[in-house]
Structure formats: structure tokens, C-alpha cells
Amino acid sequence: MQRNIVSVAPMMDWTDRHCRYFHRLLAPHAVLYTEMVTTGALLHGDVERHLRYDASEHPVALQLGGSEPDDLAKCAKLGAAYGYDEINLNCGCPSERVQKGAFGACLMAEPQLVADCVAAMREAVSVPVTVKCRIGIDDADPREMLWRFVDTVKAPHFIVHARKAWLKGLSPRENREVPPLDYDLAAALKKDFPDTLMTLNGGITTAQDTLTHLKRFDGVMLGRAAYHTPEVLIEIEEKLHGTAPITLESVVSRMAVYAQAQMDAHGTPLHAITKHMVGMNTGKRGARRWRQILTVDALKSRNAADILNAALEAVA
């Protein structure tokens, strides 16, 4: 059974392919996840735009949003054909838009439907099919809802965000912060399902948090901490895998090459790539200028090296 899995959570509007390329430079061993892609977007939209990624992103997982087994099976096949290493089903997002589509966190109330979806996806592809969920929704007792959900769905790997999702009354942002974390409950779930991989998500911000939680779980998934303070990914790599320190200079150099290639080949705006780097150097001298160059100055430039080197000089 695979253990010590460290991953970066799927985050809407954040973990696009440019963000994932950047995170891969910082964390060579981490599993990276796409933003959630709905089945409708793949079945009726631009598949190439949604699924294109850089080969360096492996291992990379595609997160799907949907609740129709046949549609999810078709989309899982598309993901596998594109070479994704894992297909993940979103059963944790509490946003109203997702609720209107009858998927996301509200699926925790329909474990048999989720079981049918997972079974259809697993039959369609040979890569792992995983489920990301909460510990419960609304007033439901997590000990009852979560245990029934895991026992019914029977996925080989669950990523458990250790907070409830409140489908009414809290915004998506509040749902990430207001419901209390219950790591012990998630650990009890792992103890009762020892043969199922369990990754813990929610409120994990440091390398020490990660190492501590890996004593009780098979994996740890970082969310906003990986985006706002991406140096934490470098520290985790050093502590968990003994890798040599990754320097800011090397990251900037490789991002400049990547960004210029994306601009030249696809017309990608420079700021669409560099915006994912603004969390680096938070709290350090020159951090404000670093952020300004990567967001404002990048809007007006077509030379990635000039912009990124200027940002590097600001924090030198």
C-alpha cells in the first residue's frame, strides 16, 4: 500500500496547468491535481483546453465534477487517454453552483449513487479512481454519514477534508474556515478502514504539520498554504525525501523558459503564469516589489526573462 503521499489540492481558478508546472519545480514527488472539471465541460466543450498539461506535471490527477455514472465513465476515459495518473471524483465542494448541478458535497447524502459512479469509472479506466469528500454535511452525524459513505462507495482511496460542509448559510470560503477541523475523527475512520488509503486534507500549513499527520494517515493534501506560501513544498521535499534545497534562482530560471514557450506557442499572457508565483518570498525584504512585478509589470511585457529576472533582483 502506498504511503507518505503528499499532494496539492485541486483549487478552482488556482491550480491550472501553469500553477501545476510551478509547483512541480518546488515539489518533485508531490501529486498534483487539476481544478475541478465538470463532465459537461468535457462532453460538450473544448477537451484540449481543459485537459492539456505539461509532461513534467506527472504524477498528475484529473478531478471531475458530476453525478451521472455514464458521463463520468466517458470523462474518466478521456482523462486516461490524455495520460492522467489518477481520476478523482469531487464529493466535497459546497458551492451553490456545484449544488445546482447535484454534485460536489451534496453527493455525500447519496452514497449509493457515488458507489455507482465510482464503479463505472473504475470499469472504464485502469488508472486509480479516488474520491475527495468532507467528514459530513449540515446537521448529519459524521460518525454515521462518513462511515456509511466510505463503506458504500468502496473506493480504494479517499481524500478526506476534515471539516463538515454546510450547504446552506456558509459561503465556499467560510466552509474552508468556519466548520471546526476534526483530525481525530478522520484518524478513527482510517483505523476502521485499514485497507483503504486515506489522505488528510484541511488546515495543514507547515512541513511539520505534514510529517505529524503522516504518522496516522497514508497521505496529506495541502491546499491554500501551498499556494500562498509555496516554499512549504520545498521544505516538505527536503524533510520527507532528503532532496537538495531547491533555490529561488533555479525556479525563476525554469519558469522564465516555460513562460516564454507558452507565450510563443499559445499566446498565453505572461501574467496568467507569473500570478501563481506571487506567494513566494512572503514576509521577506522586497516581497512587495516581487508581487508588483509579477502581477502589474507582467501585464505589459512579452519578455518572460526580463520580468522574472527583475522580480528576482527585487528580493536579492
Strands (DSSP E) along the chain, which ranges? 5-8, 31-33, 37-38, 60-65, 86-91, 129-137, 157-165, 197-201, 219-222
Return d(Cα 243, Cα 118) in angstroms, integer: 36
The type of residue at 58 is H
List the chain pLDDT tens, one digit each, 316 residues.
688 899 999 999 999 999 999 999 999 999 999 999 999 999 999 999 999 999 999 999 999 999 999 999 999 999 999 999 999 999 998 877 666 667 889 999 999 999 999 999 999 999 999 999 999 999 999 999 999 999 999 999 999 999 999 888 778 778 788 889 999 999 999 999 999 999 999 999 999 999 999 999 999 999 999 999 999 999 999 999 998 889 999 999 999 999 999 999 999 999 999 999 999 999 999 999 999 999 999 999 999 999 999 999 999 9
Return d(Cα 281, Cα 294) in angstroms, integer: 12
Give start and end residues of each alpha helix (H) in 13-104. Answer: 17-26, 39-44, 47-51, 69-81, 96-100
Q: Is 93 a catalytic residue?
A: yes
- Looking at residue 172, its pLDDT comes to 78
Of 132, 152, 116, whose CA–CA distance to 33 is shortest? 132
38 bridge partner residues: 65
Whether residue 132 contacts residue 88, with contact meaning beta carbons closer than 8 Å, is answered with yes
Return d(Cα 218, Cα 68) in angstroms, integer: 29
- Looking at residue 103, its pLDDT comes to 80
**Residue linked to cell 468535457:** 42
- Looking at residue 217, its pLDDT comes to 98
What residues have CB less than 8 Å from 26, skipping those under 6 apart?
Answer: 230, 231, 233, 234, 237, 246, 251
Of 123, 128, 120, whose CA–CA distance to 63 is shortest? 128
- Looking at residue 304, its pLDDT comes to 98
**Residue linked to cell 472539471:** 37
What residues have CB less than 8 Å from 90, skipping those under 6 apart?
Answer: 10, 36, 63, 64, 65, 98, 103, 104, 132
Q: Coil, strand, or helix at residue 109?
A: helix
What is the distance in angstroms between the CA of the first residue and the CA of the last residue of the chain?
44
- Looking at residue 101, its pLDDT comes to 62
pTM of structure: 0.96
Q: Which of 91, 93, 106, 117 is catalytic?
A: 93
CA dihedral (167, 168, 172, 176) in degrees, to 10, reads -70
- Looking at residue 171, its pLDDT comes to 80
* Helix or strand (DSSP H, E) at 259: helix 248-266
Whether residue 64 contacts residue 76, with contact meaning beta carbons closer than 8 Å, is answered with yes
Supply 132's cell numbers: 475527495
- Looking at residue 97, its pLDDT comes to 67
Three-state SS letters, 192-230: HCCCCEEEEECCCCCHHHHHHHCCCCCEEEECHHHHHCC
Give the chain's domains with CATH numbers: 5-241 (3.20.20.70), 248-314 (1.20.120)
- Looking at residue 169, its pLDDT comes to 75
- Looking at residue 92, its pLDDT comes to 94
- Looking at residue 212, its pLDDT comes to 98
Sign of the CA dihedral with 127 first, then 6, 254, and 281 last: positive
